Chain A
Amino acid sequence: MHDCELHSRRHLMKTSAAGFASLAMAGLLASESRADSSGPTAAIPPQFPARAKRVIFLFMKGGPSHVDTFDPKPMLDRDHGKPLPFPLPEVTFAKQGNLLRSPWKFRQYGESGLPVSDLFPNVAKHIDDLCVLRSLHGTNPAHGGALLKLHTGSDQFVRPSFGSWIVYGLGTENENLPAFLTICPTLAHGGVNNWGSAFLPAHCQGTPLGNASLSSSQVGVKHIANPELSSRAQRKQLDFIRGLNQKHLERTEYDTALEGRLHSFELAYRMQSSMPEAQDLSRESESIQKQYGLDNPVTADFGRQCLMARRFLERGVRFVQVTHSDSDVQWDQHGNLYQGHTKNAAEVDLPIAGLLQDLKSRGLLDDTLVLWGGEFGRTPTAQGNDGRDHNPHGFTMWMAGGGVKGGYAYGATDEYGYYAAEKKMHIHDLHATILHLLGIDHERLTFRYAGRDFRLTDVEGVVARDILA
């Protein structure tokens, strides 16, 4: 029932001034996009001062190789072709060969002098804004398990995705748009569970725009337009429905659920115009379009996703995920590493750089957390003669903006890049850190379900305080 959700509503709200008002509204959808509105999606103050207000996750599906991008390993050059001098994990995804050096050169960039490979020459120009997390590790060596672990913290059960936890914790700044959007997500390997809200209230779930098999130029929210009625005719119809409902309300006692449904139609009606407006990239100047690579077919598809994402962020969407995946497993180079990674990086490098530049020049980067990475990295050992296997034991992600140190490398893998070794950062730690940046204590963001208080980080999670700016 409506009140289940309210009883266990955001734990942190109990202490906030807005809490009681929200409780009284009992499941209502706020009718306005005001910050002070009090529907379930309304913005909620963070638990402590937040460094970031919103998140954009640039997800590279398939597992980009850390030793070929942001984590150079000179020992691989030295010992190329030799066996790994320490044991492999007990369980590996496939049979692995000897060490394989990176086909790419690394160069130092910026004042920080952090190295980036030739795969990312444009992102490299922003290295002084990047906080490179080199000691990520997870638990699952298969795509499905690893995607679920990264997105939900669990590779065994269906759990809320971290985007929906964030929406649950913070609400949204603009109720005319979904609070959590995921652009061109992959439907394989966990699919909707990767943006689903599981037992959290339904408004916390991610709204998908298209999927990985669609071009980003064709994507939209389901049922966002009426194929038959003009907006004016639909407005009249809505007024007619409103009248029917009011007559029904007169026949029933006042009921918050019925009242809430009236509001939901109004909100849906407004969303019909605000969504296409936010998605309309033709409103951007030519130079901005170029900055995101929209003029080049190689970069246009991902560039459109990034630019759309920025428009959403700007309009108050709390969490946007952008997925780089084609109808294959994009970054999954078991073979053909050189060519595959070259192509993949060429598709995203310029748009990501464009996005960072754009966020920065609009002053959005300060309180927008940018997160980049895949579900795992790749092994420093070879598969075939030009491929690398999945490696959840040590890999790299990076953050930018949102209160993290720029030009900073956190943690390290071993000398070959196989295992996370220093300042190890498990997926749970990543989640704890992201919540911390948003002003949420991961141990206090809980939801009571089936008799248990659930957390994004389960019983784990340590905030990586070193990376806080």
Chain B
Amino acid sequence: MLHKYCWLTSILFSLVFSLETRAEEPISSADLEFFEKRVRPVLIEHCYDCHSGEERSGGLKVDSRHAILKGGDTGPSIVAGKPDKSLLIEAIQYENRDLQMPPEQKMPTNQIADLVEWVRRGAPDPRTATPDDNHEPLAGMSIEDGREFWSFQPVTNPELPAVNKSDWIQTPVDHFVLRSLEQKNLTPAPRADRETLLRRVTFDLTGLPPTTEEIDAFLADDSANAFEKVVDRLLSSPQYGVHWGRHWLDVARYADSNGLDENLAYGHSWRYRDYVIDSFNNDKPYDRFVIEQLAGDLLPDATVETRTATGFLSLGAKVLAEPDRNKLDMDIIDEQIDTTGKAFWGLTLGCVRCHDHKFDPVKQTDYYALAAIFKSTRTLAESKTGAIHHWYEHSFATEEDQKKAEEINAEIKKLTSAANSYKNGLVTELRNRTKEQAAEYLAAAVLVSPQMSLVDMERVAEPRGLHPRILHHCRLHLEYHQDDPFFKPWHKLAAVGDPSVVRQHYESLFAEMQRAMDAAEDKKAPLSDERLEQARLAVNDNSGFLALPAKPEYVLTDEQIAEYHRLLDVAREFESQAFDEPAAMGVADGEVAATIPVHIRGSYKNLGQPVAREFPEVMRMSKSRPIFPEDGSGRLELATWATSTEHPLTARVIVNRIWGWHFGQPLVKSTENFGVLGDQPSHPELLDWLAWNFMDRGWSIKELHRLIVHSSAYQMSYHHPQFEQCAAVDQENRLLWRANLQRLPAEAIRDAVLSVSDRLDTSLGGKTVPLRNRQFVFNHTSKDHTKYDSLRRAVYLPVIRNNLYSLFEQFDFPDPTMPTGHRNVTTIAPQALLIMNSDLVLDSADAFAERVIAASSDSESRIEFAYRAAYGRKPSADETRYVLAFLGEQSAQGEASPAAERENWSVVCHGLIAANEFIYLK
């Protein structure tokens, strides 16, 4: 590395030197001629397509002297006079597999020689600068400009702005919302009715619909603080943490399996999920929450809980079978930096692996300064299963646990080998039988042709007690090995068309071979008779003419296959439910790398200057440099810095998301990008005020909820009397003149379906993924054993990367490999198929119908009950009439029976679930 560093420096020196001294020198006519005849045409032919004019692949242009000396992203392309130090020469020589130009193929040798000679001569070049040479390639903001950019400026504590309609103010946030509206001459929508408000806040805080009892209680409570009581009830319900914990799990790209190349179960990631849910329920201060996730293992008071929190850094998808360990390490670090940057600071740091940020004030040195911290962190364990790396885990196992786990491991092995030895036994049996029938196979092969279908093959094979696929293979083998001396006689004899002649020939050959083998002293030594030795080799070659099909399905009978699969299933079932040593995914400190070199274009094979551990420059709040421990990774320092109240981004980024999760629209739409390409805040002062007060109130998320849900802004109706006028000014409702229409997230849709049918199990916590740690979700097979029929809340359903639960996938569950602070909402036909035809909805509609029928004997009351359960409101008279009419039509068609009645109500209940109001909140 050091060597590489010096080498680069020397390039820089010689570059400066050569530019200054050579720029003035006129080019000799011989050099000029050489350039025009031997260099320019070659550059034009091979390089200009991608490296001239507007085209500057890799930041490099070669169409002027200035440009070629200046070079591209990897530095100067040539060093005048020094071909062996010139990247351009290295590239065209095609010696370095990671740097080859032109990419399609090597240039002819003579042209390479010419360019080498040209550089050796000092790269004399008459080409003056082209107009866009001074056009610097797109470069990010400077650090100085960056500090002026809104999101990197210190958080302020703005004054509450004055408003006209002051009776609208319920909490301070209303000042900011109302002022923005008044500036545009807009008025806020009136307050929503109580039923709507209750439905809104109950889904918002717990992800569940209000029960009919809760609706009754709230409507009956006419005290002034009735709504406050509801909010307190919801915030203290453990279902709050289930719902809000899930919001954070989106950001933490939570999953129960690795995904990517090898989909192994994250059998312990549920502990992190439960940690997150508990943290929300306990209103853990957000700064502490961040510190625990980045460095919980390093805290002086580290516990099982705080170590579990570091699962955040380990949950990413990893290319576990990557054979290049260096690349794997840097890929994992990249994932950690990218996730940390997006989750906590709303910055896209992943781009900076290869080059300075093209837009934001973040340099490649900033990236590698962070990378050094993660390089000093252990994310992978040293153990592997075959080619598959294991991730690091904090073990909480007692000796007893370990012993138990070992016993279980042995049991799993026993069960698996039981299946395999059953199969192998049968295969060996068939193989031996086949060898005994060798002459018969060769004889039968006379009667078949290589093109014959398997069905026809069976007609010949079965009466002779032969295996049709082996016979088919045998015939093909004969076709491909006509010149083999062992098979030559076959082709000769087969031409006659009489199998018995062939049988006779080979039977006697094999008998002779057997006698020779019996007589031989050394049973393993080759037979001296070449002809007999050929026969011995041919019969015993497992991939020869008697080869068995590779798939057990083709070797065994249906019954045998069924038994083999049964044994495999027994092993798999046992493994899925088997005890695991208690452990949590997480990270620990590893060997400390105080510096690591910049990886040019992101490749560890191309190293630049070393950088020491540091925080990204644009976000440094203090002039004094942090001191990183010599014996630790520096993650604790990173976490402490990230949660300083002076940090410009940490608080802004999280309050923005929380606002978005409440309103369906964050203040800064690009929740993971507060950089130059991100969106500007709709209410900049409000964002700052929220961030400041959030920190001021001890980073309490529940306090922030109260501030928001008690505001008039939150309690507005979706309906606005001057809808047209408002929409004309602000169609997107960025200024919040009314409530947004929000579609429920996937989990809430599913939980609501179970809730209205009274099937939902609201118990909390524990392992729910039906796989043992590191068990394959699918290995090379594609069998999907994951079940989603649990009736627990959706947050407890397995999140299998590469194979999400179809309801999640259809309803915009975020990709569990990327931090997501704000979900998409799309409407596609497969959602409708799922709502119309899935067991989940059909079974729930039946159960919902049972409830509705049990509620009353009178149809109108039943309809009222169904509407209140499904939509949280009473039906209008018109709606009641409509449903009654439909019921009437339905029952007119069939006979009247209790079963038919249930069926008709089920169709109605299914309709209510499928209709828009069920999944759209006003």
Contacts and interface: CB of A to CB of B under 8 A. Distances in A.
A325 B781 CA distance: 9
A241 B907 CA distance: 10
A382 B878 CA distance: 78
A213 B803 CA distance: 15
Contacts of B829: 29, 264, 267-268, 271
A273 interface: no
Nearest to A340: B550
16 contacts: A93-B387, A142-B322, A142-B387, A158-B259, A191-B263, A192-B804, A225-B837, A236-B889, A241-B911, A241-B915, A245-B916, A264-B829, A268-B830, A268-B836, A271-B833, A343-B473
A452 B348 contact: yes
A202 B824 contact: yes
Contacts of A127: none
Contact of A265 (B784, B802, B836): B836
A388 B723 CA distance: 70
Contacts of B879: 244, 247
Given A89-B97, A267-B832, A188 B917 contact: no
Interface string A47-58: 000000000000
B781 A327 contact: yes
A12 interface: no
A346 B669 CA distance: 55
Contacts, number: 290
A295 B886 contact: no
Contacts of A241: 911, 914-915
Contacts of B783: 187, 213, 327
A189 B549 contact: no
A187 B321 contact: no
Contacts of B914: 241, 265
B396 interface: no
Contact of A158 (B262, B351, B809, B817): B817
Interface in B739-769: 741, 743
Contacts of A157: 817
B748 to A, nearest CB: 16
Contact of B782 (A145, A248, A327): A327
Given A207-B830, A450-B670, A192 B454 contact: no
Contact of B838 (A186, A223, A295): A223
B17 interface: no
A91 B323 contact: yes
Interface stretch (B570-578, B584-592, B673-681): B673-681
A9 interface: no
Contacts of A144: 260-262, 319, 321
A16 to B, nearest CB: 22
A424 B920 contact: no
- Among B331, B480, B830, max chain A CB count under 10 A is at B830
Interface string B314-335: 0001010111100000010010
A261 interface: yes
Interface in B776-833: 778-784, 802-804, 806, 809-810, 812, 815, 817-818, 824-833
Nearest to A425: B104
A326 B551 contact: yes
B342 interface: yes
Given A221-B833, A268-B833, A327-B781, A29 B261 contact: no
Main secondary structure of the interface of B (DSSP, over half): loop
- Among B664, B778, B831, max chain A CB count under 10 A is at B778
A223 B837 contact: yes
Interface residues of B, number: 103
A74 interface: no
B677 A451 contact: yes
Contacts of A255: 741
Nearest to A224: B833
Interface in A234-254: 234, 236-238, 240-241, 243-245, 247-249, 252-253
Interface stretch (A108-116, A193-201, A309-317, A432-440): A193-201
Contacts of A425: 104
A108 B104 CA distance: 27
Nearest to B776: A188
Nearest to B842: A228
Interface in B78-103: 97, 103
Contacts of B261: 142-145, 147-148, 155, 189-190
B803 A336 contact: no
Contacts of B28: none
A253 B832 CA distance: 23
Interface in A202-248: 202-203, 207, 211-214, 221-229, 233-234, 236-238, 240-241, 243-245, 247-248
